[in-house]
Structure 1
């Protein structure tokens, strides 16, 4: 079968469990293939915001997520094709263990489900550091568990010595699955972690560049790139009728040019009142966002302008709407607090009734204080770090009419934080959680919608259109 028959050549990089080396192998493979002159489309299964940053560094393209819980299984293929436009090959990094998905939902949102939806072969990355012949039983179990998941090869990671490699290869040969790579332990490819996972690219600068280069060199030296590309080209045809997802047509603005940031088209400055200016927080403190959000805002007619709350002392001139996504404000609380000019600018915009959408880190930034340090004071609530991790998918319904959604709108989201906001909800809560437990959460005040819940707007494009329309009329 040729790539023309099957669509974009593609591979899914999976593992038996977290910590096996998926990110190292996936990012290294992306970098190695890019180094060979291929246009590589990077993808990540699940709601992870950090790994796509490393993928983008490896490929020079926007890292994109494929989440069957947040967006629904029916959007996995279209979102994949949207990201893979114009690419020679796609590499999809899995999440957790191959068959792990949303709790209590069977295979939903698992790497295995995404691989089946994409009809993509899987490469299993096995941490071989504490085993030899037993690796055969492990690989056999993963191969046989679900016959619809095609495991096309194994990469043995953290191999101790040449003798260890011989024992491992002999064992895997008994299963009939090819070994496509063997990687030794290598400290230079390690990425530092903290309370919510890896440290994002935006915070590491040249260290991240060096780490990705080391990952690429390790994979290029230890893996059979030709065999991996051949396996990717043997991917099955995508389901009939699959077409790329689109955010909608990006408006043509009078007296304006289109510029591109990270592969995302963004309208440049415009004096047209019908083109509201939406400021989107970025920089090291606010790195959690989905590329499709910016694309949806632009397609809805907004002019999207990025700003850095650590550096910029006021919002971009003419801002009519504000989006503050997730990230690590707790790490930068002192710097955020010290930027009094921007805090005042944000508070003035919010008090004016302009639409403000804040998720997780954005919620903390809008509070009175974070760990005792003054924040924007938009919400009568305080935030602090805690020792408890709140993590998981959520089934939610909008409780109050807001700039994002009409009351009754149902969306699925994801929580991921080690902070607490008190109180946890305002007089007009943002969301009512339907699962895993019933509760209300978040704040809707004036034009502000602030919540811990991360959502993917591609699942409900009306969110972006509603937000931009409110920016026009507020």
Structure 2
């Protein structure tokens, strides 16, 4: 990737989109990343939307941090800049879409795959599930190719094709459209990735099994997809004309001195943290130190603030409950009035109990499995003064969980939602809720957290 004149960035790239959810879009995108990386290319993986799980497989395939491109959470103007930032040093970027190509927020296509493709001027490769159709696939592709004239539908990959004769029927049906068939993948149950209530099981939880899945997907794509044609397609993408996003620039003038330690939960139970959040904490002056609540018995030395991201603590409740020393350390951190910020899974860990098992007891609430999935975007404002700054700060966020916390909110809520409801728990040293904002849109949030950590460090020095 090269920059010209300070703001012109040449980055070969493709969007891997689907006609709908469930067509094998993630398998194709991850396989494509792995196959191109195996050729010696430096590949950058990106995910449209807020999802944390699919990007965990991107990281395995590329060896680079996963990145998200969410036009609702970060704002449309930041999307090309975040793409340039996340793909810095890469030879090619693969952007995995979300749901169907044109499915966005509400009845429009805000934050959809098509929206991101337009914002980044990226050619689209459409994944089609051909398992139960032949000529009808041509009608489907024709519709996608003509629905939005601003979308460059550069080719299709036919997935779950049954046989050589089935493939021939599909190719003959598609030939009059002039949309290239870039690949054909056969039905193969060995390539199915295990899933549960919120989608795929995160790669970090599967260990070597996840690595084997990525390798198998890469091999399948290498065999069935014309990789040279994909690279040629990627190279047709126009130069990006906006300067890459920078954490240092985002927090310019608000850096805290002294490098206070901000402990960030990691490990298999807490995998839901955007990479830009760590970058912003560092740029704001924080010394980011990770720890694993499932087995580390103490917080990092000198911890001045705690950031508990999301994940699946409910799937690791026995390990978390059994690590009493760390739970006591977290509770002690709260008693000593050091700042704590928690999102979703982090909130569950701070509760008194999770599925009947003892947790940290920082929040006066209990958590348990719910009857239905809760997901969606929210517009909210901070409900109380907290380590994320003063009350009234507007943010955009998303929720993604199948647990419930009782009560839902404290007397000083973390957020006030657009529908008038309250969400989460907050106070001068606590901000805990189900919502995930993307701090690139609100860099004042991490700078406030690091500033609060810096105040703790100065207080310790003074005493």
Shorter chain as denominator, the TM-score bin is over 0.9
Q: Which runs of 5+ in 2 are unaligned?
A: 457-463
Matched residue, 1:391: 375
Would the aligned equivalents of 2:269 and 2:315 in 1 still touch at CA under 8 Å?
yes
**Residues 186-205 of structure 1: matches in 2 within 5 Å?**
186-205=188-207
1:43 equivalent in structure 2: 46
After superposition, the C-alpha distances for 1:200-240 in whole angstroms (9 at most, x for unaligned) are 111111100100000000001100000000000001232x4
What is the 5 A alignment of 1:117-136?
Answer: 117-136=119-138
Q: Does 1:304 align with 2:288?
A: yes
Q: Aligned to 1:379, what secondary structure does the other structure show?
A: coil
How many Å separate the matches in 2 of 1:230 and 1:51?
Answer: 25
Q: CA deviation at 1:438?
A: 2.7
The alignment's TM-score, normalised by the length of structure 2, stands at 0.95
Deviation at 1:185, TM superposition (A): 1.1
* Pairing 1:330–2:346 present: no
Alignment of 1:175-214 (within 5 A): 175-214=177-216
- CA 1:29 to 1:392, structure 2 compared with 1: closer, same or farther past 3 Å? same
1:425 equivalent to 2:409? Answer yes
What is the DSSP-based 3-state SS (H/G/I as helix, E as strand, rest coil) of the residue aligned with 2:314? coil
- Give 2:12's match in structure 1, choosing from 9, 21, 38: 9
Residue segments in structure 1 that go unaligned for 5+ positions in a row: 252-271
What do you get for the CA RMSD once the two structures are aligned? 1.6
Q: CA deviation at 1:275?
A: 1.2
Question: How many residues of Structure 1 are paired with residues of Structure 2 in the alignment?
Answer: 448
SS of equivalent to 1:426: coil
Cα deviation, residue 250, structure 1: 11
CA distance in 2, matches of 1:137, 1:430: 49
Tell me how far apart the structure 2 counterparts of residues 94 and 273 of structure 1 sit (CA, whole Å): 40
In structure 2, C-alpha distance between the alignment counterparts of 1:350 and 1:185, rounded to whole Å: 52
**Structure 1 residue 451 and structure 2 residue 433: aligned?**
yes
Q: Corresponding residue for 1:400? A: 384
Q: 1:277 aligns with which of 261, 270, 290?
A: 261
Aligned counterparts, 1:91-102, within 5 A? 91-102=94-105
Tell me the equivalent position of 2:67: 64
1:379 maps to 2:363: yes
Residue 75 (structure 1) aligned with residue 59 (structure 2): no
Residues 276, 468 of structure 1: 8 Å contact kept: yes
TM superposition shift of 1:446: 4.0
Q: What do the CA deviations read for 1:139-167 (whole angstroms, capped 9, x no partner)?
A: 00001100001100000000000010001
Give TM-score, length-normalised by structure 1.
0.92
Distance 1:441 1:46, change over 3 A: same
Q: 1:32 aligns with which of 23, 32, 35?
A: 35
What SS does structure 2 have at the residue aligned with 1:330? Answer: helix
Looking at structure 1, the residues matched to 114 and 81 of structure 2 have their Cα atoms a distance apart, in angstroms, of 18
Deviations 1:421-441 (A, max 9, x none): 01101010010111xx33111
8 Å Cα contact 1:27-1:58 kept in structure 2: yes
Tell me which residue corresponds to 1:245. Answer: 245
Following superposition, the deviation at residue 47 of structure 1 comes to: 0.3
Q: Deviations over 1:98-149 (max 9, x none)?
A: 0001124x11100000000110000000000010000000000001100001
* 2:298 paired residue number: 314
4+ long deviations beyond 3 Å: 2-6
What secondary structure sits across from 2:46 in the alignment?
strand
Give the distance between the partners of 1:3 and 1:128, measured in 2 at CA: 40
Once the two structures are TM-superposed, the CA of residue 249 in structure 1 deviates from its matched residue by 6.8
**In the alignment, what sits opposite 2:176?**
174
The alignment partner of 1:71 has SS state of: coil
Matching residue of 1:53: 56
**Matched residue of 2:410: which SS?**
coil
1:411 alignment partner, SS class: strand
SS of the equivalent of 1:473 reads helix
2:329 paired residue among 340, 345, 363: 345
SS at match of 1:236: coil
